[in-house]
Amino acid sequence: MYRKRPYGIIFFTFLIALFLTIIPLPDWAQPVRPYWLMLIVIYWVMMLPEYVGVGLAWCAGLFFDVLQGSVLGQYALAMTVIAYLTFKLHYQLRVFPVWQQTIAVFLFISLGQLLILWSNALMGLTTLAYWHHWLAVLISALLWPWLYGALHAYQIRYRI
């Protein structure tokens, strides 16, 4: 079976994730914004680890740091660790049912959030673990089944 090189499609999904990250939301919804870029990194590392890996996750995290104006490297660190864990477990994650993948995604993004809070604490920034940090993690994990279904259909349609 012929398999296309998916660079353009992967880049497009990363751009959509970045757009969803910077789109303005009402004040009440801002703190619970899902971690779209982390979800996209988890999906592509799980499904196509030969194209998307730790290096691309680090670059995306660094770009996200610049985009958000956060401490340079904190999201890059979190996304690198998430991509590494996803890469190490990608064979198992692929065969899990979606509900088990959702639990794994929740744990990965929770670890990423802990790394972000830890790096903020190292810089001396106020890093009280407010409930909305964890609500954003939960919302991200609950969005996983729909995102997985949409990206998987996209992947099948374009034969990548």
pLDDT of residue 129: 58
Predicted TM-score (pTM) of the model is: 0.92
Cβ proximity of 136 and 31 under 8 Å = yes
CA distance 36 to 50: 21
Which pLDDT does position 1 carry in this prediction? 46
Average pLDDT, stretch 130-151? 91
Give how many domains the chain has, as a whole number. 1
Residue 130 maps to a domain:
yes
Residue 38 forms part of a structural domain: yes
Three-state helix/strand/coil letters over the chain: CCCCCCHHHHHHHHHHHHHHHHCCCCCCCHHHCCCHHHHHHHHHHHHCCCCCCHHHHHHHHHHHHHHHCCCCCHHHHHHHHHHHHHHHCHHHHHHCCHHHHHHHHHHHHHHHHHHHHHHHHHCCCCCCCCHHHHHHHHHHHHHHHHHHHHHHHHHHHCCC
pLDDT tens digits along 59-110: 999 999 998 888 888 999 999 999 999 999 999 999 999 999 999 999 999 9
Q: Quickly state the pLDDT bin for 29 (edges 50, 70, 90).
A: confident
Residue 64 lies in a domain: yes
Query: Residue 1 domain-assigned?
Result: no
Q: Is residue 21 part of a domain?
A: yes
Q: Is residue 112 part of a domain?
A: yes
Collect all residues with Cβ–Cβ distance below 8 Å to 3 and sequence separation of at least 6. 159, 160
pLDDT of residue 41: 97
| pLDDT higher than threshold 60 for residue 116 | yes
Q: How far apart are CA 70 and CA 61, in angstroms?
A: 11
